[in-house]
Amino acid sequence: MRRRKLLMLMLGGGMICAPTLRAQQRAMPVVGYLNISPPPPRLADLSRDLVHEGLRETGYIEGRNVASEYRWAEFRYDRLAALAAELVSRKVDVIVALSGTPTALAAKSATSTIPIVFINVGDPIGIGLVTSLAKPGGNLTGFSNISTELTAKQIELLLELVPQAAVIALLVNPNNANAEGVIKYAQEAADMKRVQLAVQKAGTDAEIDAAFASLDRLHAGGLVVDADGFISSRFQQVVMLADHHAVPAIYAGGPFVSAGGLISYGIDDTAIFREAGVYAGRILQGAKPADLPVQQPTVFELVVNLYTAKTLGLTVPPSILARADEVIE
């Protein structure tokens, strides 16, 4: 299995084109990228490469017949509206909202005419991006990671590992518009399993630390970590804190488990970013976002870290091992 993984939110790579190249590049179609993350330290960035792979499938090669504009918010959500407006003022031909719901909403607010391709949005209908998955209408289409509904399955898996848990904590970023939907589905799942849900909100490093510090007081028997871009970017901090507090945690991405996390259940981001590039290319060729259906994931990956389970004194049940796509010894 190809194991290249993205965090539920990866950085968009590249540099803003130099002014001396503007006239030359303006003759090409321009793809604008909006990202909540900071700019990457290097040009070769996986998320950018995957989107560009998709563009190449439709005949568009960066620097040859398509140009790029990148905007990074550096996790300052208040900057997204202005950055989206900048892309609109540059008259880009399509906007790729790389960082889920926050960037998708900012792009939508900035323009009703420039096509927008969103990536990893939990509930595109619920937050008003599209009116239908099959026929989005308007100028937006893209890819859902159904992160809101995914939470219920994560709670189910976590309780298979820690069936004695009476309290399950949920870590979400309150700055993410998906958070309320995630909480709703998590609460419904917790009620069905007859466990208490303790919601912990964290949108900064300090708040992540504080959330974990409160787990002992809450007597949390397990933790679900939401697939939020900011939280995912802090995967090493989160895994270290889960280890320090000896709390069994389930994540949405394999990189958490590779870093020492217990278990993850989520989608393969690599396919989504590549297909977003294909959608952007099709739009450059004349397709209308309103006619391109919003795609939902069909393949989910379960990764288990047996070493971490042993450290926590847990026995991973055969029912989980039999379903695991990857087991880390």
Is pLDDT above 70 for 97?
Answer: yes
Question: Is residue 200 domain-shared with residue 232, that is, in the same domain?
Answer: yes
Rounded Cα distance between 55 and 31, Å, is 10
Question: Is residue 190 domain-shared with residue 324, that is, in the same domain?
Answer: yes
Two tokens at 116?
């927008």
Q: Look at residue 296 and tell me if it is in a domain.
A: no
Question: Is residue 88 domain-shared with residue 205, that is, in the same domain?
Answer: no
Helix, strand, coil abundance in the chain, percent, nearest 5: 40, 20, 40
Question: Is residue 32 domain-shared with residue 169, that is, in the same domain?
Answer: no
| Domain total of the chain | 2
Question: Is residue 192 domain-shared with residue 274, that is, in the same domain?
Answer: no
Question: Is residue 45 domain-shared with residue 136, that is, in the same domain?
Answer: yes
Q: Look at residue 158 and tell me if it is in a domain.
A: yes
263-267/300-305 β-pairing: antiparallel
Q: Look at residue 12 and tell me if it is in a domain.
A: no
pLDDT-derived band at 11 (thresholds 50, 70, 90) equals very low
Q: Look at residue 220 and tell me if it is in a domain.
A: yes
Taking every pair of C-alpha atoms in the chain, what is the biggest distance, in angstroms?
Answer: 65
Two tokens at 260?
């020492």
Q: Look at residue 9 and tell me if it is in a domain.
A: no
Rounded Cα distance between 205 and 184, Å, is 24
What pLDDT score does 145 carry? 84
- Amino acid 81 reads A
Express each pLDDT in 123-172 by its tens digit. 899 889 999 999 999 999 999 987 677 899 999 999 999 999 999 999 99
167-172/140-144 β-pairing: unpaired
Question: Is residue 175 domain-shared with residue 305, that is, in the same domain?
Answer: yes
Express each pLDDT in 31-66 by its tens digit. 999 998 888 754 437 778 899 999 999 999 999 999
**Residues above pLDDT 70, as percent of the chain:** 90
Question: Is residue 139 domain-shared with residue 162, that is, in the same domain?
Answer: no
Is pLDDT above 50 for 258?
Answer: yes
Is pLDDT above 60 for 1?
Answer: no
Two tokens at 328?
């880390």
- Amino acid 140 reads L
Question: Is residue 260 domain-shared with residue 154, that is, in the same domain?
Answer: yes
Q: Look at residue 235 and tell me if it is in a domain.
A: yes
Domain that holds residue 257: 147-267+301-328
Question: Is residue 91 domain-shared with residue 195, that is, in the same domain?
Answer: no
Q: Look at residue 6 and tell me if it is in a domain.
A: no
What pLDDT score does 26 carry? 55
C-alpha pair distances (Å), 137 with each of 32, 102, 133, 183, 231: 21, 20, 9, 28, 32
Only one residue has tokens 């299995």, namely 1
What pLDDT score does 14 carry? 39
Q: Look at residue 8 and tell me if it is in a domain.
A: no
Comparing C-alpha atoms, which of 25, 42, 47, 34 is closest to residue 74?
Answer: 34
Two tokens at 286?
């004349």
Question: Is residue 140 domain-shared with residue 84, that is, in the same domain?
Answer: yes
Q: Rounded to 5 degrees, what are φ and ψ at 194?
A: 60, 45
- Amino acid 64 reads R
Comparing C-alpha atoms, which of 4, 68, 69, 12 is closest to residue 44?
Answer: 12
- Amino acid 143 reads F
Express each pLDDT in 184-201 by its tens digit. 999 999 999 999 999 999
Three-class SS state of 139: coil
In this structure, the number of other CB atoms found within 10 A of the CB of residue 320 comes to 17
Rounded Cα distance between 88 and 8, Å, is 26
Q: H helices within 162-214, ranges in order?
A: 179-193, 205-213
Bridge partners (DSSP) listed for residue 239: none
Question: Is residue 61 domain-shared with residue 124, that is, in the same domain?
Answer: yes
- Cα(first)–Cα(last) distance of the chain, in Å? 17
Rounded Cα distance between 325 and 320, Å, is 10
Rounded Cα distance between 122 and 131, Å, is 14
CATH number of the domain residue 310 falls in = 3.40.50.2300
